[in-house]
Structure 1
Amino acid sequence: MTQALRELLSEQGTIVLSVHPGPIATDMSDAAGMSEVSQPPALVADGIIKALKAGDFHVFPDSIAKQMGDAYKSFAQNVVEVSSS
């Protein structure tokens, strides 16, 4: 869905990112019992800004998300991000 929105909204100049945070220090992660491994919310904002500047689509802002991103990278580049044109 995010990939479709990206393509559709690009015609009007809207940038769509696919943000994949891991445990971030929020009430939700606290309620899920992840307080000990949660990382600061600023990592998400910083990751979004960095992606916008670099023209990246996927954002894996924290250390756990980055591990997932590394595993996902090949699939994303070869399947998700392939342009139909």
Structure 2
Amino acid sequence: MSREHCYKLLSQAIGEAVKLETSDGALYKGIVVQLDANYLYLYGIDENEKQQGMVQITPDNVDVIPLASIVMLDILSIF
């Protein structure tokens, strides 16, 4: 998946939950909190938050993922 294609999809998914896999095999599930030309900023969701329907985003909990490393992307419906 190209960086440009990821950017286009994710720019429409700010605030939405996504599941993705990177080229090194890492799996992520979280909320898209920010996006720039090269990186996705993703707040990881754990199962407790998912069940409670509550999410508190702090800078400590945000993963920074290079767009060029994303090989699979799903937009999720969690609530």
TM more than 0.5 = no
> Is the radius of gyration larger for structure 1 or structure 2?
1
Higher strand share: 2
What TM-score do you get using the length of structure 1 for normalisation?
0.24
Higher helix share: 1
